[in-house]
Every structure is written in structure tokens, then in C-alpha cells.
Amino acid sequence: MKFLHTMLRVTNLQESINFYTDVLGMNLLRTTDRPDQQYSLAFLAYGSGNNENQGELELTYNYGVHQYDHGGFYGHIALGVEDVALTCQKIKEKGGKVTRDAGPVKGGNTIIAFVEDPNGYKIELIQLGTHQ
């Protein structure tokens, strides 16, 4: 099997695309609009999207839906970065929301931080080389 993508439902597709490309540095690979089915999709990834070692992020906008209840099942997306503190600084400079500043995970040495996308989805930043 191969991990292909994770899908998140969003309330404003362009705002979410802007966050994931401008703030988190992902690349927009492709979009699809399905007016008859009343939804639009955007696929993003790091690199060209042809990397078999990475999955993609699918953003789904369902026409007319302006709010979602995340419920208690969703956790977060995790991204590996070289320097968590520097990444948080850059995210803040671009208007992104850091909800937990860089520091060691409770009970461990792994350096992490959390940011939030425009829809309130949590994204964990994990410093490469410290992940245990």
C-alpha cells in the first residue's frame, strides 16, 4: 500500500490555499471544480507531488458550507522542519497563528510547536533530528 493524501474540509478554498502555500510553503499541484456535485478540490504537497515518499494534502470546499465541527476524533497533521523556532517566527511574520511555541514535548526531548490553519486545524511542527 501507499499513503496518498489526507483530506481536510475547508470553508474558504482560496484562503486555505494561501495559508498552505504562502505560510507553510507547500505547492499547489492541481485544482478541480465540480459544480454539478457542488464541491471544489485543491491538492498540495511539498515538491512536485511526484515524490512517492510523501503524501498530498487535499482541501475540499463544499459549496455553501461555512462552518465545520471538528469533533473529538481529529488530532493534527505533523510536518518535519529543520528549526521549529525559526519556522514559528516565519509563520508569525506571515500572519499565521502559532498556538504553542517551540519547545520540548512534555516528558521528552523532541522539539515541537503547533500552528493552526484558517479553519482551526492543528499542525504540529517537529524538529528533524529530535523526533523520537
What are the residue numbers of the active site?
A: 124
Which residue do the cell numbers 493534527 mark?
A: 76
Cell reading at 66: 461555512
User: Rounded to an integer, what distance in angstroms lies between the CA atom of residue 72 and that of residue 90?
Assistant: 30
